[in-house]
Amino acid sequence: MGSTAEEFLAVSAEKAFDTEHRKIINYNIDKYQHSVDRGLSRLINLDQAKKKGHAIKWKVMENLDKFLPEFESNFQKNGGKVIWANDVAEAQREILNIITRANAKTVIKSKSMATEEIHLNEFLNSHQIESLESDLGEYIVQLLGQKPYHIVTPAMHLSKEDIAKLFHERFGTAVDATPEQLTLKARELLREKYLKADIGITGANFIIADTGSIAISENEGNARLTTTFPKIQISIVGIEKMIPSITDLDLFWPMLSTHGTGQNLTVYNTILSGPRQTNESDGPEEMYVILLDNGRTNLLAQKDQRQGLYCIRCGACLNVCPIYKNIGGHTYDTTYSGPIGSIITPHMRGMDKFKHLSYASSLCGRCTEVCPVKIDIHKMLLLNRRDSVTEGLNAKKEKWGWALWKKGMLKRKLTDFFSGKAKNFFLKTFFKKTWGRLREMPPVAEKSFSAQWQEEQNKPEE
């Protein structure tokens, strides 16, 4: 098997020329962008809101060692239990321990990228525990045996015809069923699962330090059902999701929903502060929050790049990225794709395996423009490239090539030593299969600029 970078290049080339794929993804992204543009136009001072969000997240990351214990203490006061997980294996083991102690066999899940990060469904299935996605998009990709395609919209790569065909094959619905009919069928299939599930598992959009709460945003109501009916609830959350106060939600909730889908607010916004209390009629009897590191402290230690942890997972940078819109989400082979994934993945999963993602960018800067918390994304990509070189992860050919280029650029005589014909021969011979594989190589002028300048200066005055 080739390297991760080689696989990425091979799949990218395939997807970039898959016209049907590009048609679907661009159609769906354009629909989102139209809604987002309309939603953003309703915000009075967008830039000020972004600056405020950036400042709050800066404060959190600079004081994360204080906010995390504050959350833990407040959450435990309400009867909840906090578990710290350093990596994927530890998170999986802790979840399995909870399920085993409860002698549980069925799990219902709401949408969560953190659970995708720890490969939870596959892990539970390997231990004969049924784990079912309740978010419609996640449910669809689970039926297909795929991973989510997009941070916000897991099934963005599928047309309504694709989904109708899937439901027809699996559940016998009409092959030309409408989206409304498909949604009703999914509701019919999932509703009893909420009632029978032993365990409910969610992620969280925010962890709130001062109240010891988690906040979940959604549009389907499945997360509320997941946290209401099962007797035990587990929430897996990355440690970077922290915000200082419940009052900060008046900024982050609308910024998340508007940048993600164009809504003023998502339909359901839930704050959970622990298991069911004696004066409450519903909710779990036990509630656990698993605080997941899994490489986040590696990124936190990088002073220049820790901005990547400010991300609130709105998906805006994916929707504007020309690379993402051509090669799609699965090509990245990571939980977090697009520009933000290209920043954080090399630090979370290893620069040696994923440094190539930081080069998968045109550096147009649109990702930075649209970020609701002002992460300097394209600068972070450049810093990742710098780090990969500093760590000696670039190939010898690349090192030699840039050394020669630098030497030539610093000395005009060396630059002009070869004629235009020699340079054109060099380009066509040595770069035909790389730069020239899908394009015509640009011709180099026969004479260099300095030679032409000298000729011009030596012309006799008329």
CATH of the domain at 271: 3.40.50.10420
Q: Is residue 183 part of a domain?
A: yes
Same domain, 76 and 225: yes
What Å distances lie between residue 317 and 84, 314, 439, CA to CA? 30, 8, 28
Same domain, 161 and 276: yes
Q: Is residue 299 part of a domain?
A: no
Q: Is residue 405 part of a domain?
A: yes
> Could you say which of 294, 310, 345 is where a domain stops?
294
Q: pLDDT tens digits, the chain, 462 residues: what are they?
A: 346 899 999 999 999 999 999 999 999 999 999 999 999 999 999 999 999 999 999 999 999 999 999 999 999 999 999 999 999 999 999 999 999 999 999 999 999 999 999 999 999 999 999 999 999 999 999 999 999 999 999 999 999 999 999 999 999 999 999 999 999 999 999 999 999 999 999 999 999 999 999 999 999 999 999 999 999 999 999 999 999 999 999 999 999 999 999 999 999 999 999 999 988 888 999 999 999 999 999 999 999 999 999 999 999 999 999 999 999 999 999 999 999 999 999 999 999 999 999 999 999 999 999 999 999 999 999 999 999 999 999 888 888 888 888 888 888 887 777 778 888 888 888 888 777 777 888 888 888 888 888 888 888 776
Same domain, 104 and 227: yes
- pLDDT at site 297: 97
Structure tokens that stand for 436 in this block:
């020239």
Distance linking the first and last C-alpha atoms of the chain: 68
Same domain, 284 and 401: no
**Spatial contact of 338 and 277, defined as CB atoms under 8 Å apart:** no
Q: Which residues of 421-444 are buried (b: 16+ CB within 10 A; e: fewer)?
A: eebbeebeeeeeeeeeeeeeeeeb
Same domain, 165 and 288: yes
Task: Say if residue 144 is exposed, middle or buried (CB neighbours under 10 Å; 0-12, 13-18, 19+).
Answer: middle
H helices within 146-295, ranges in order? 160-171, 179-196, 222-228, 249-261
- pLDDT at site 447: 83
Same domain, 286 and 401: no
Q: Is residue 307 part of a domain?
A: no
Same domain, 87 and 236: yes
Q: Is residue 413 part of a domain?
A: yes
Strands (E), 15-103: 81-85
- pLDDT at site 397: 82
> Could you say which of 264, 294, 324 is where a domain stops?
294
- pLDDT at site 1: 35
Same domain, 266 and 130: yes
Strands (E), 321-456: none
Q: Which structural domain range is residue 134 located in?
A: 43-47+64-294
Structure tokens that stand for 437 in this block:
């594989």
CA distance 348 to 344: 6
> Could you say which of 294, 311, 337 is where a domain stops?
294
H helices within 78-135, ranges in order? 88-101, 113-117, 120-126
- pLDDT at site 444: 87
**Spatial contact of 183 and 45, defined as CB atoms under 8 Å apart:** no
Q: Is residue 341 part of a domain?
A: no
Q: Is residue 377 part of a domain?
A: no
Same domain, 271 and 420: no
Same domain, 134 and 277: yes
List the strands of the sheet with 268-272, edge to edge: 242-243, 206-208, 213-218, 268-272
- pLDDT at site 49: 97
CA distance 182 to 355: 40
Q: Which residues contact 65 (CB under 8 A, 6 or more apart)?
A: none
Same domain, 218 and 108: yes
Q: Is residue 54 part of a domain?
A: no
